[in-house]
């Protein structure tokens, strides 16, 4: 088996994967390529990436992943404010790097690129710029103008250039085929356990801690209000969750409320993300925080007064501690 050295990526950190933004002439001896959005980098994606890396090593080649930014849906629909994703680009890079991929190419997606046919894309990008020798594809992957290139079409085009195509079968869960769509649906309906199983890790949101109304302090449950770093990050369904909270390198248990907080705000208000970190009283406004969703505790509920809310939060904390332990 061939072994590859570690590389320095565009951030300047010593890591195991080179990241390029845009295409360039890569001087690789035997590129083994896969293409996709990889939203969530879930267990199905991870199976594909593991096969990519394994195959590249078996032919003493380099594993190359191509993804797109912005998401094609943002460009083609023109409605960026309503589009949500499971992973930010930073999260996606880290998750792909964990699969020991050698190269990640982030292609800037434009309307011009969307009009390029599958044959042109293979010829102009995959062959001329990357020098692809092998193409690894998921069972249902399409690319090219209006998704014209299905597996058989792409296989025929690729083989005409002397490229071998490898097809990877779907990955199943107890609810069917693993997909980003299934995970989004699970998160939006509060099925955190199921979503995490499909992802293969705990769903997370990273954000900045901003000023709130400080009402939690008056009832013994101070909360940190979170503004997500990525405005397109999918927010799970309203409710109360047992979570783990990371600030710097410290991981702490807590519980998070998502919703309009109807007990405090009697009139309809915007959705808020508020996290209470157990046994924590430091000042952290303006800091970056990552919340890992572990379990759903209950639906959001309107209580008659803040005393009843405080009593329920005490019960929520007891349940969260049991689950997280």
Which stretch, 187-201, 208-222, 265-279, has highest mean pLDDT? 187-201
The model's pTM is: 0.88
For residues 22-48, average pLDDT: 91
Query: Can you tell me which residue has the tokens 């292609």?
Result: 107
CA atoms of 116 and 108, how far apart (whole Å): 14
For residues 151-169, average pLDDT: 90
- Does residue 14 have a pLDDT over 50? no
- Does residue 268 have a pLDDT over 80? no
Kindly indicate the confidence band of residue 49, based on its pLDDT and cuts at 50, 70 and 90: very high
Question: Cα dihedral sign for 274, 91, 166, 59?
Answer: negative
- Does residue 296 have a pLDDT over 70? yes
CA atoms of 225 and 204, how far apart (whole Å): 15
- Does residue 13 have a pLDDT over 70? no
Is 204 or 4 the better-scoring residue by pLDDT?
Answer: 204
- Does residue 88 have a pLDDT over 90? yes
Label residues 184-216 b or e (16+ Cβ within 10 Å = b).
bebbeebbbebbbbbbbeebbbbbebeebeebb
Average pLDDT across the chain, whole number:
87
Lowest mean pLDDT among 35-49, 80-94, 239-253: 80-94
Note the pLDDT of residue 1: 34
Note the pLDDT of residue 44: 94
Question: Cα dihedral sign for 63, 204, 201, 195?
Answer: negative
Note the pLDDT of residue 114: 83
- 104-141 pLDDT, tens digit per residue, is 999 988 888 888 888 899 999 999 999 999 999 987 77
Alpha carbon of 172 to those of 45, 104, 141, 166, 182: distances in Å?
12, 26, 16, 19, 11
- Does residue 71 have a pLDDT over 60? yes
């Amino acid at each position: 088996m061939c072994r590859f050295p570690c590389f320095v990526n565009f951030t300047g950190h010593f890591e195991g994967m080179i990241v390029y933004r845009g295409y360039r002439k890569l001087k690789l001896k035997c590129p083994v390529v896969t293409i996709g959005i990889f939203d969530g980098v879930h267990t199905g994606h991870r199976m594909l990436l593991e096969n990519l890396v394994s195959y590249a090593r078996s032919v003493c080649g380099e594993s190359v992943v191509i993804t797109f930014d912005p998401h094609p849906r943002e460009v083609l629909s023109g409605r960026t404010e309503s589009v949500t994703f499971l992973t930010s680009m930073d999260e996606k890079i880290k998750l792909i790097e964990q699969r020991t991929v050698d190269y990640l190419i982030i292609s800037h997606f434009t309307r011009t690129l969307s009009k390029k046919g599958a044959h042109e894309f293979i010829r102009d990008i995959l062959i001329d710029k990357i020098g692809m020798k092998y193409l690894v594809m998921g069972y249902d992957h399409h690319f090219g103008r209006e998704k014209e290139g299905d597996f058989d079409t792409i296989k025929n085009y690729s083989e005409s250039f002397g490229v071998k195509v490898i097809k990877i079968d779907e990955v199943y869960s107890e609810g069917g085929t693993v997909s980003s769509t299934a995970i989004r649906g699970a998160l939006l309906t509060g099925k955190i356990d199921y979503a995490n199983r499909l992802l293969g890790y705990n769903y997370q949101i990273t954000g900045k801690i901003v000023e709130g109304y400080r009402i939690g302090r008056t009832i013994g449950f101070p909360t940190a209000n979170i503004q997500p770093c990525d405005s397109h990050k999918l927010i799970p369904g309203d409710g109360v969750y047992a979570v783990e909270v990371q600030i710097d390198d410290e991981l702490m248990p807590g519980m998070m409320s998502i919703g309009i907080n109807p007990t405090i705000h009697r009139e309809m208000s915007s959705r808020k993300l508020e996290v209470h970190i157990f046994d924590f009283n430091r000042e952290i406004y303006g800091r970056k925080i990552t919340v890992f969703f572990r379990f759903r505790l209950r639906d959001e509920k309107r209580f008659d007064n803040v005393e009843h809310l405080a009593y329920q939060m005490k019960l929520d904390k007891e349940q969260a501690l049991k689950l997280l332990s």
